[in-house]
Every structure is written in structure tokens, then in C-alpha cells.
Amino acid sequence: MSNYSIKNLEEYFNVYRESIEKPEVFWGKIAEEHFTWRKRWNSVLSGDFESANVKWFDGAKLNITENCIDRHLADRGNKTAILFEPNDPNEKTQYITYTNLSKRVNKFANVLKAQGIKKGDRICIYLPMIPELAISVLACARIGAIHSVVFAGFSSTALSTRINDSNCKLVITSDGSYRGEKTIDLKVIVDEALNNCSCTTSVLVAKRINADIKMKAGRDHWLQPLLDEASDICEPEIMDAEDPLFILYTSGSTGMPKGMVHTTAGYMVYTAYTFKNIFQYREDDIYWCTADIGWITGHSYIVYGPLANGATTVMFEGIPSHPDHGRFWDIIEKNKVTQFYTAPTAIRALAKESLSFVQNRDLSSLKVLGSVGEPINEEAWNWYNNNVGNKKSPIVDTWWQTETGGIMISPIPYVTPTIPTFATLPLPGIQPALMDTNQTELIENQVEGALCIKQPWPSIARTIWGNHKRYKKTYFSAFKNMYFTGDGARRDAVGYYRLTGRVDDVIIVSGHNLGTAPIEDAINEHPAVAESAIVGFPNEIKGNALYGYITLKDKGERRYQEKLRKEINQIITENIGPMAKLAKIQFTNGLPKTRSGKIMRRILRKIASNETSNLGDITTLLNPEIVAEIIQSRL
Ligand code: WTA
């Protein structure tokens, strides 16, 4: 038998050792004992980082929805698979059982087929956190269509870029969404996006807010009548282990987002195994991850990981501040949530509110608390531990990425002793390395360096859609035969890892990864702008906020600076989304540059963070005089 569920520290070390020494034996056993296959694999692992051609369970055949749904029907048919909490607390909670989920996924899959969708076709999903979102994801997987979920906070321009990049034939959306007191007209955004997408021939529209929307004849269809007509039986498409399951876009350090491609078998095995261990999931638990399915956390730990384990997974449509700042705690109390997984930015925002919101609720059902998306600061960790977990529930600070598919470094609750702000130890199968700038691995403890991973794991993204060259260059060229994460980390005296933040041009704002390049590209579209540079600076709630240095073509235009600031943020909202708006905009006479013309962001970062006492050597700059000038007019 494999060690599917780790129970103590000694066992962890044994399992870890085996997983590193004999990865194929380790993952082969887990795959064999805990999943349903239509055909066994020829090899557990093949390929390597050097050639960027890693494959897991090659030759095997399966369908992930058989593993997430069908195989639970006999024993767990009446168990709740998805527990849906609407935005409005007065609207009824929905309990979607495994049997019901099976029928709804099959119906949806048949609707997709009737629209001419076939295995390998790409489908864009632009939906709020309503059951149709999880169901449409699973329906795509049922018929082998590749889903590309785009977070419904992205603008129409960002949406059309993503639809075009992977040539999506069909878009699934809704008439709108609820967000606290507000509604958002999603269909209008889709219509705008599709003006620029010739690849999309049909749009399925779920009804949510009863908005009066335009339907384009021949292209747009209301979803419900089609579902009503469809059969609730749909045989799963039998997929190869390495067939793409989905594309999910993430920001990079150049303008185009990267469409990370995840494949079927390795992703399934790894997300299911990590879900089980990191949340110590037991049969009657009620698990809640507050992420949006538009991000990787939602894919892996709301949909696939939990459902592969036959779990009950909560989906929440709303926001933590509506109708008041006790909403999260209400949902936990009402549903007796046992595992709660959220982001540091949400914890920091709620920690600022009156303690009575959390103290007035019975949170005694909680057993495990999770954190994801950015480093969690000590204050937020302590607040979470003291007030939400009542010092009884271990906090799992889970480090991972869209590219890694699943959690990589994290405590296992009740197994790994936790320390605030430390993601602690690598999970089985994960071999981290810290590298210095000379490409040398730092093998001792108490060191800090660039975080790499030495050995392939099952859920690593296999490519960037349509651009394997960029995939190779981004992840496998910085360090020989290693996957480079883009993060920095420190290893302490006992071997625990603490993440220190991005070492590239990606800035994490409220848990959203934002590349500086696409924001700068957007700003530079403004006719008055000559040049711009974006950096992050610390923000109490968001982790980081964005600071923009902007040089105008005509200095005289600065007399309109308030108007310009508004226009620039408007362009950013239109091109990317409101989460990328700049908190501060400083107009400059120039930007500090190296002699080869590269903007010295390191200096700009320090100025924005008001750390100007130690700027390092600036004499080698092309224009050192500009630095004092920028410091002087810092905002
Ligand atoms: C950051 C989210 C510190 C990190 C799952 C990573 C973290 C990026 C943590 C990926 C954590 C995520 N501690 N930093 N526990 N979790 N990050 O692709 O910089 O949205 O590279 O995936 O978030 O963000 P992504």
C-alpha cells in the first residue's frame, strides 16, 4: 500500500525520502491505488527539464471526471459535492449532490457537443462564482475540450487577448454577476471582447442577475433551455494522460500573458494527493477555499483536488465585506466548515475590522487553516492563528504557482510543526534548491537564494500554449536542468523554507499577479506619455500597491496632472482590469537608466518604498542626476 495520507513527522521523512530516491515507484503506487484508469501507463515519468519534455503516466488512458464524479456515485451519490453560498445571505444555500452534479455535468457536456465542440477544442469560461462555473469546467473535461477560465474581473481587452491567443470557439458567460451591493454586466464585457475575436462562433449565457442584455442572433444562446433539453447521460471521452486538460493564463514579465497548459493524469494525481494531505481531509469534512475558480487555486483546490477525493467543497459567490465583515465567519459557523483556505490579503483586510465580527461566531468546527498567494506577514499569521483558529488549528502556509499546478512547499497539519511566515518543508516528490547568482546551488542551511526545483513533479505545466520556446526560456534557461520559480527564498537552520517574494518583474497585489510590462504598455498608449516604469511598494492590506513613474512628452502637460492620473488609471482598467490601477503616479523628467538603456527598477523600487538611505552605486547610470530629482518629488 502507498502512504496516501501522512500521519506523523517520522512518516513524512520516510515518505519524502522514498519520493525523492524513487519518484517513479512512489507516484506509480499512488496512481495505481487511488484512481480509475481505462488503461495503465507505459512509463511513470519520462523526459527532463533540460529538454522541457516532461511526461507523467505516458500511455495511460482516463477521464478526470470519472475520477471526480462517476466513481463516487455508488457510495457518495447523496453526499454534497458542491455547497454553494450565494452573494446574498438571504438567498438559499444550494447543496449539489454527487448524483446531481453528475447529471448537470453530463447535460452541459451534451450541450457543448450539440454546439459542435469536440475533443481538443478550446472553450473560454468567463463566469462569476456560481455553480455553472464548476459545472462548465467539468463538462469541458468530460468531452475532452480544453477549458480556459478567465477571471471575471478582467477587462474586455484582457479577455479578447486570451480568447484569441488560444483560439476559443465558444465562450461561456452569464448575463451578469453580483459583487456585494453591486452588479457587473459581464455579457456587455464579452460582447465588447468578441468584437475583436473572429475565432468565437457561439456564446452560452447563464442567467444570474436577470439583466436585460443583448443576444446576438445565431451566436448567443441562453444556457438553461438547452440544458433542459439535453440528456443527462454523456459517456466520458477517453483521454491520453498527456492530453491538455486546461489552459490558464498568468502574468509574465513581457506583455503577453502566458497560457500555462496543464495535462490530465499528472495534474489529477498531484492535486488529489496534495489536497488529501495538506488539508488532512476526512470523509465528513466541509472544506472551503475562498479563491475564485478564475485562478489556479480554484482549479486545483475548489474543483479537481477536492472532487477527486469525494469531498464537499464550498463555493462562495460574494465578498468578505458583504453584508458585513463577518460574512466569512457566518459561512463557517452555518456550514460547520472544517478546513478554511484563504489569502493573506483577505486576512489583513478582516483583521482591521472590529474583533467582534469574528468573536461573535462559533468557529469551533475548524481544524485546518490555509494561506496562499503571497508571503503571509507575521502579524496576519498571528491574527489568523489567535482569532480564527483559536490557537487550535494549524495554519498551512502553502507555496505554489499557476505553473506548478499544485502545492509544493507547505506544512502538513498536525504533522509539521509550524512557525509564522514559514511555508516549512517540501511535499513528497518536490526537491527545492536555492541558487546564488553564479548558478551555484547553496547546499547549506541558513542561506537565501533563487528558488528552483530540481526534479519533475506530476502537475508541472507542460508548455505555454502556442509558445514552447518561451516556456523553455522562462523556466529552464536561468539554471541548468532546473525549474526556476521566479521567487526568492530563505532556508533556516532546520531546513524550513521562507518565501521572500518575486525576484522578477511580477508584482503581487491583493494576491493578483501583475506583470509590470503589460501595465506599462497600457500607460504608454496615452498620447501624452513618453515613458513609464511601474514598481511595487508595501501596502498594509494589499501586500503591495503599484507606484508608477511617468515621463510626459511635453512637461507642460503636468499642469493637468490630476486629469492625467485619472485617464491613465482608466486606460489600465480598460486594458487589464481595476486590480492593476496605480495607487501613486509621480511625473518625472526622466527615468534612471543603465548605459545600455535599461530602466533601473531596483532604484525606483527603493524610492517608492522610501528606502533611499542605501541606493547602492548609482554612478554607473547614464543619468545619475535624475535620482535626486525623483527622490525630491517622491509622493
Ligand atoms: C506567490 C498562486 C509566498 C509566489 C497559487 C508565487 C506565495 C506566486 C505563496 C504564484 C506563499 C503563492 N508564500 N508567496 N504561500 N503562494 N505565492 O500563479 O510569488 O497566482 O510565485 O499561484 O504567488 O501566484 P499564482
Q: What is the pLDDT of residues 196-250, one digit of tens each?
A: 999 999 999 999 999 999 999 999 999 999 999 999 999 999 999 999 999 999 9
Given this model, what pLDDT does residue 262 score? 98
Nearest to 251 by CA among 499, 493, 536: 536
Q: What is the mean pLDDT of residues 592-617?
A: 87
Per the CB < 8 A criterion, the answer to whether 159 and 133 are in contact is no
Compute, in angstroms, the gap from residue 447 CA to the centroid of ligand 1. Answer: 20
pLDDT band at 517 (very low <50, low <70, confident <90, very high): confident
Given this model, what pLDDT does residue 165 score? 98
**Mean pLDDT of the residues in the chain:** 95
Q: Is the pLDDT of residue 509 over 60?
A: yes
Q: Is the pLDDT of residue 595 over 80?
A: no
Q: What is the CA radius of gyration of the chain?
A: 24
Say yes or no: CB of residue 249 within 6 Å of ligand 1: no
Angle among Cα 256, 259, 261 to the nearest 5 degrees reads 160
Out of 296, 452, 506, 508, mutate this one to test ligand 1's pocket (max ligand atoms within 8 Å of CB): namely: 508
SS3 11: helix
| Structure-block grid coordinates of residue 246 | 486546461
- Please name the CATH architecture into which domain 67-237 falls: 3-Layer(aba) Sandwich (3.40)
Out of 513, 514, 579, mutate this one to test ligand 1's pocket (max ligand atoms within 8 Å of CB): namely: 513
Paired strand residues for 434: 451
133-136: long-range contacts at Cβ-Cβ below 8 A with a sequence spacing of 24 or more? 133/293, 133/315, 134/82, 134/293, 134/302, 134/303, 134/315, 135/101, 135/104, 135/105, 135/108, 136/108, 136/172
Task: Give the residue carrying C-alpha cell 459581464.
Answer: 186
SS (H, E, C) 459-470: CCCCEECCCHHH
Given this model, what pLDDT does residue 2 score? 64
Nearest to 262 by CA among 404, 126, 137, 136: 404
Residue 74: which residues within 8 A CB-CB, separation 6 or more? none
Same fold, 67-237 and 506-632: no
pLDDT band at 161 (very low <50, low <70, confident <90, very high): very high
Given this model, what pLDDT does residue 314 score? 98
Atom of ligand 1 nearest to the CA of 401: 22
Between 530 and 339, whose confidence is greater?
339
Rounded Cα gap, residues 482 and 495, in angstroms: 20
Given this model, what pLDDT does residue 1 score? 57
Q: How many other C-beta atoms can be found within 10 angstroms of the C-beta atom of residue 15? A: 20
Compute, in angstroms, the gap from residue 599 CA to the centroid of ligand 1. Answer: 26
Among protein residues, the one with the nearest Cα to ligand 1's atom 24 is: 401
Given this model, what pLDDT does residue 615 score? 84
Q: Is the pLDDT of residue 253 over 70?
A: no
pTM: 0.93
How does pLDDT run across 287-326, given as a tens digit for each residue? 999 999 999 999 999 999 999 999 999 999 999 999 999 9
Domain boundaries, the chain: 67-237, 506-632
Paired strand residues for 55: 46
Q: How far apart are the first and last CA of the chain?
A: 61
- Residues of the chain above pLDDT 70, percent: 99
Atom of ligand 1 nearest to the CA of 410: 15
How does pLDDT run across 428-466, given as a tens digit for each residue? 999 999 999 889 999 999 999 999 999 999 999 999 999
Out of 274, 475, 490, 499, mutate this one to test ligand 1's pocket (max ligand atoms within 8 Å of CB): namely: 499
Say yes or no: CB of residue 375 within 6 Å of ligand 1: yes
Q: What is the mean pLDDT of residues 518-542?
A: 93
How does pLDDT run across 319-341, given as a tens digit for each residue? 999 999 999 999 999 999 999 99
Atom of ligand 1 nearest to the CA of 250: 18
Q: Is the pLDDT of residue 255 over 80?
A: no
Compute, in angstroms, the gap from residue 112 CA to the centroid of ligand 1. Answer: 33
Compute, in angstroms, the gap from residue 208 CA to the centroid of ligand 1. Answer: 32
Nearest to 197 by CA among 223, 159, 249, 145: 159
Q: Can you spell out the DSSP letters for 559-610?
A: GGHHHHHHHHHHHHHHHT-GGG--SEEEEES---B-TTS-B-HHHHHHHHTT
Say yes or no: CB of residue 296 within 6 Å of ligand 1: yes
CATH superfamily, domain 506-632, is: ANL, C-terminal domain (3.30.300.30)
Between 556 and 202, whose confidence is greater?
202
Rounded Cα gap, residues 409 and 431, in angstroms: 10
Residue 218: which residues within 8 A CB-CB, separation 6 or more? none
Rounded Cα gap, residues 27 and 57, in angstroms: 9
Q: Is the pLDDT of residue 617 over 90?
A: no
Compute, in angstroms, the gap from residue 275 CA to the centroid of ligand 1. Answer: 17
Compute, in angstroms, the gap from residue 31 CA to the centroid of ligand 1. Answer: 27
How does pLDDT run across 95-137, given as a tens digit for each residue? 999 999 999 999 999 999 999 999 999 999 999 999 999 999 9
SS3 404: coil
Compute, in angstroms, the gap from residue 333 CA to the centroid of ligand 1. Answer: 28
- Residues of the chain above pLDDT 90, percent: 91
Q: Is the pLDDT of residue 418 over 60?
A: yes
